[in-house]
Amino acid sequence: MTGAADTPPESGHRPARSRLIVLAGPTAVGKGTVAAEVRRTHPEVWVSVSATTRRPRPGEENGVHYWFVSDDEFDAMVARGDLLEWAVVHKSARYGTPRGPVDLALASGHPAMLEIDLQGARQVRGTMPEALFVFLKPPSWDELVRRLVGRGTESEAERERRLETAREELAAESEFDVTIVNHEVHAAAEELVALMVGPGSTRSD
Ligand code: 5GP
């Protein structure tokens, strides 16, 4: 396994094996693409579908990429305690992880993965400290900027806001158990899955 974080996890507060992986990282590092690759190549891994108040992009399907919900529906989910974590991302829409499906996946023994932002990862750290927290990192800052600009779906102001968020999020790497560098999507997905089901799933720390 390559890419272990420089800072080792604190000892003693996590079991040797983790069935729940929380994948986070800066804006545009490719978390969603890596999560989609895990879904595509490893059906044995259950990948959470988040609820969001943002509008679907072309090609996105309700229940596949996200559960697209109204503000009122999101409020109701929060009020009922249905969300394991939730956050306002990029100061625009709300995103949250439905709790029930995660519990079901774990209870049925499936390895499970959440792909969420840093604020959400910190919340899950508080409630499910037994999870393994994985930081997906770009090969370089320049590459991250290139990916942000390359996506081309945001306005100039939005891109600046995302870069600012990315700077803050990159600084959070040391809070995570493991770092994976996203040189190439398939390889990053394989590294992730190996942490759950492969030889790397039995951790010695
Ligand atoms: P996008 O709108 O581009 O699909 O995603 C924007 C951001 O929202 C990404 O950084 C993604 O990781 C984050 N995100 C997606 N689902 C969740 C969620 O359930 N909870 C949290 N906290 N963040 C999420």
Q: How far is the CA of 184 from the centre of ligand 1 (A)?
A: 21
Would the pLDDT of 199 be above 60? no
Question: Strand 112-115's sheet: what is its strand order?
Answer: 46-47, 112-115, 20-24, 132-137, 178-181
What confidence score (pLDDT) does residue 12 get?
41
Within 10 angstroms of residue 97's Cβ, the number of other Cβ atoms is: 23
Atom of ligand 1 nearest to the CA of 123: 22
Q: How far is the CA of 108 from the centre of ligand 1 (A)?
A: 25
Query: For residue 128, what pLDDT band results from cuts at 50, 70 and 90?
Result: very high
Residue nearest to atom 21 of ligand 1 (CA): 116
Residue nearest to atom 1 of ligand 1 (CA): 32
Q: How far is the CA of 204 from the centre of ligand 1 (A)?
A: 31
Mean pLDDT calculated for residue range 44-59: 96
Using DSSP, state whether 23 is helix, strand or coil.
strand
Q: How far is the CA of 81 from the centre of ligand 1 (A)?
A: 19
HSE-up (13 A, CA, CB side) for residue 119? 14
Pocket of ligand 1 (CB under 6 A): 27, 31-32, 50, 54, 85, 87, 89, 95-97, 115-117, 119-120
| Domain 4-197 fold | Rossmann fold (3.40.50)
Using DSSP, state whether 57 is helix, strand or coil.
coil
Residue-wise pLDDT for 165-198, tens only, equals: 788 889 999 999 999 999 999 999 999 999 987 6
Residue-wise pLDDT for 74-98, tens only, equals: 999 999 999 999 999 877 899 999 9
Residue-wise pLDDT for 151-165, tens only, equals: 667 788 887 877 887
Would the pLDDT of 50 be above 70? yes
What confidence score (pLDDT) does residue 203 get?
39
pTM for this one? 0.84
